[in-house]
Amino acid sequence: MNSTVVSYLSQAPGYGFLTSKLSEVLGFDATGIVNFLIFFIVTLVMVNIMAAIGGLGTYAERKISADLQMRQGPNRVGPFGILQFLADGVKMILKEDIIPRQADKFMFHLAPFLCLVGVFMTLAVLPFSSGLALTNLNIGVFYLLGVSSLVGVGIFLGGYSSNSKWSMLGGMRGASQIVSYEVPVTLTILSVVLMAGSLSFDVITEAQGGFPHEWFILHNPFTFIGFFVLFIGALAETNRAPFDLPEAESELVSGYHTEYSGMRFGFFALAEYIEVFVVCGVCAALFLGGYKVPFNLGTGDFLVKAFPAIEPMLAKQVGNFLQLGAFVTKTLALYYVVIWIRWTLPRLRVDHLMVLCWKYLTPIALFNLVGCAVWLYAFEGKSIWYLIFKSGAAAAGAHH
Amino acid sequence: MISLPSYLIISFCLFIAGLTVMIARKNIIAMLLGIELILNAAALNFAAYTRFINQNLDGHLMSLFIIVIAAAEAAVGLAIVIRFFQIKESIHIDDATELQS
Amino acid sequence: MFLNIMFLLAAGATIGGSFLTATSKNLMHACIYLLLTLFGVSGLYATLGADFLAATQLVVYAGGVVILMLFAIMLTGGVREFVNKFGIDKVASMGTVKTYSIAGFMVVIMSFVIMKILAPIFKSYAPGELPGFSTTVEKIGTLLITDHVLAFEISSILLLGALVGAAVISRPGRTR
């Protein structure tokens, strides 16, 4: 069905050994339990690493913004200030939990959880590598789009339930921004799905190669424009500057999370940073070749050719680590660009925001979709590099 | 435990809940909530029947069209409610008594 | 076994959510319980092997319709309760105990008759007899373009009409 971490790790010799041992001990077939344990452990690892990335994202933001503004940034807590996010976390946990008296308690408690759940559910399909992705759903991209709309509901509820004017305005603006920018994002993702032929992240990444000229971004001019549309739309979806009017400090007194204090605010902030990571990962997977390593190193075949006596699973593990490294590198490069943009560009006013989405990005995304379809029909899906460099040689060679 | 009657019972419960909401509530938007519940019950029925009885995917397609039409109808219904509120300043169903304007 | 667990969770979310939607007094809470119900229905679609349908349900309903309802509640003056102390509006002429007992008796008789007619359909499948789960995305796509292309095109025109109509109807300052 869908290939998951379990179906990848089940090729390891240790898996069969563990299963048979447990079956002897327990008396019934222990495959289900071993599968569940593997999923549980991998999920635990992934959630913890993502939370750490969320925390380190705050640190990275402060350091990079300091670098852009020619100052130092946090440098007291730990070497180069790297433990600053732990200090922030401890501060947030120890803060008093204030709930406004007229607030709608049920929704006040629910809103940060909706944001967090919506973001963490998207981690299940993110293509970290060909074997270590948690699950390769056949409908991966679609599922990710659906689940990340929960964040919009969470923002709206946070704004409404705080029972304050600023929060209400911030919440409504945030929700309308997220819902509007889903349209160009979905259309651009659709053009990539059109070219790869499937909604699954695995197939889309495998349709690209390791080198930049084999990525979808340089495939045809329509996907090149599409990458920027997706990037801008994704920035707006995560309420990230220059689209951060719902949480702007100078306009709305921090918008929909004004009334939240302590760890609840921490949940909102964590959800935002992890969502930026997820969105950068999606951009990298769809347009920048995802986890593909140049020279096809990711499959581990080079190790098998060099050392024929090596165990095939070990070669695949090495390949998977290389793929993981490639994916994380590309995602973190995009993350740096996101932080860079935040501290460089001024904020967009809310009606400019809506005009940008509906009058500019959506027609461009529609035009991209039609253009990709026409390109696929006219050139049979060959990229522009292939057409320029290969078909000339083929035509010269086939002359006889 | 997963068999056709269990899905039918679930969609029956959804339908009854939606019907209760539509009958007993006076707020127009709440009645739209009930409509959504009823449409979901029907779509679940279609999907359950294609899994257990008839494995060509016509039931899935029917559910897809139900989802599409329910979304369009919710949009238009809510636009009408907003317009109604702009005229009448109330969303109580008993205030919708005139046929014109 | 995990299919059973997922089925139980999704069914619990669906039935619980629908019950809470029907009986909650606050309209915003009812919208949130509707979100829970739609999540449960999406989970049920997943247990039926309809993966594309489950994702569509998530995208359209959880991401679209619920936010739309929340916005409409906000734009029409927020939550004002028209309830009596029992939580649900008492509708006049809903009937008496006699009505309900006669109706219940008739429902029992009619359901016996219908079950008799439908009995041949309810054979329960042994676990090996049902086909395994397979991806439905390509098959649905093919069916949409070949067998059901008319419904597809008409629904696209319907959506266009709904889009334009909703924008035109709710525009302020339109006097007639």
Q: Is A120 inside a domain boundary? A: yes
Closest to B35 (Cα-Cα) out of B87, B70, B10, B79 = B70
> Given CB atoms, is A203 within the 8 Å cutoff of chain C?
no
Give the contacts of A122 (CB within 8 A, at least 6 positions apart).
A144, A147, A148, A275, A278
- Tell me the Cα Rg of chain C: 22
pLDDT over 70 percentage in chain A: 89
Mean pLDDT of the region A171-179: 86
Structural domain total, chain C = 3
Q: Between A18 and A356, name the one with better pLDDT.
A: A356
Amino acid at C86: F
**Are residues C20 and C75 both part of a single domain?**
yes
- Where b means 16+ CB within 10 Å and e means fewer, A257-275 reads bbbbeeebbbbbbbbbbbb
Q: Is A96 inside a domain boundary? A: no
Q: Is A25 inside a domain boundary? A: no
Domain of C32, in residue numbers? 1-80
| pTM of the predicted model as reported, rounded to 2 decimal places | 0.87
Q: Is C87 inside a domain boundary? A: no
**Which residues in chain C have their CB less than 8 angstroms from residue B51's CB?**
48-50, 130
Q: Is B79 inside a domain boundary? A: yes
pLDDT in tens, A230-240: 999 998 888 87
Give the contacts of C53 (CB within 8 A, at least 6 positions apart).
B47, B60, B63, B64, B67, C45, C136
Q: Is C110 inside a domain boundary? A: yes
**Which residues in chain C have their CB less than 8 angstroms from residue A143's CB?**
55, 58
Q: Is A301 inside a domain boundary? A: yes
- Tell me the Cα Rg of chain B: 17
Q: What is the pLDDT of residue A251?
A: 56
Q: How near does any CA of chain A get to the CA of C56, in Å? A: 8
ipTM of the complex: 0.89
Q: Which of A140-154, A243-257, A280-294, B4-18 has the lowest mean pLDDT?
A: A243-257
Cβ atoms within 10 Å of C104's Cβ, excluding its own = 9
**Are residues C139 and C119 both part of a single domain?**
no
Give the contacts of A227 (CB within 8 A, at least 6 positions apart).
A188, A216, A217, A283, A287
Q: Is C88 inside a domain boundary? A: no
Q: What is the pLDDT of residue C161?
A: 93
**Dihedral (CA of B49, B52, B54, B60) sign:** positive
**Which residues in chain B have their CB less than 8 angstroms from residue C42's CB?**
none
Q: What is the pLDDT of residue A163?
A: 76
CATH label of the domain that carries residue C69 = 1.20.120.1200
Q: Is C89 inside a domain boundary? A: no
Domain of B31, in residue numbers? 4-95
Report the C-alpha gap between A216 and A368 in whole angstroms.
13
Mean pLDDT of the region B39-53: 90
CB distance C139–B57 less than 8 Å? yes
**Are residues C74 and C109 both part of a single domain?**
no
User: Within 13 Å and on the Cβ side, how many CA atoms surround A88?
Assistant: 20
Of C21, C52, C76, the CB nearest to B21: C21
Say whether pLDDT at C176 is over 70: no
CB distance C91–B24 less than 8 Å? yes
Q: Is C146 inside a domain boundary? A: yes
Backbone angles phi, psi at A209, to 5 degrees: -115, -170
Asked if residue A291 lies in contact with residue A205, where contact means CB atoms within 8 angstroms, the answer is yes
Preceding omega of A242 cis (within 30 degrees of 0): yes
Q: Is B101 inside a domain boundary? A: no
Q: Is A270 inside a domain boundary? A: yes
Say whether pLDDT at A353 is over 80: yes
Q: Is A235 inside a domain boundary? A: yes
List helix spans (H) across chain B: 4-24, 28-52, 58-88
pLDDT in tens, A287-314: 998 888 887 777 767 777 777 777 777 7
CATH label of the domain that carries residue B42 = 1.10.287.3510
List helix spans (H) across A123-247: 140-147, 150-161, 165-196, 201-206, 221-237
What does the CA dihedral A201, A203, A204, A205 come to, rounded to 10 degrees?
A: 80
Structural domain total, chain B = 1
Domain of A131, in residue numbers? 101-393
Say whether pLDDT at B50 is over 50: yes
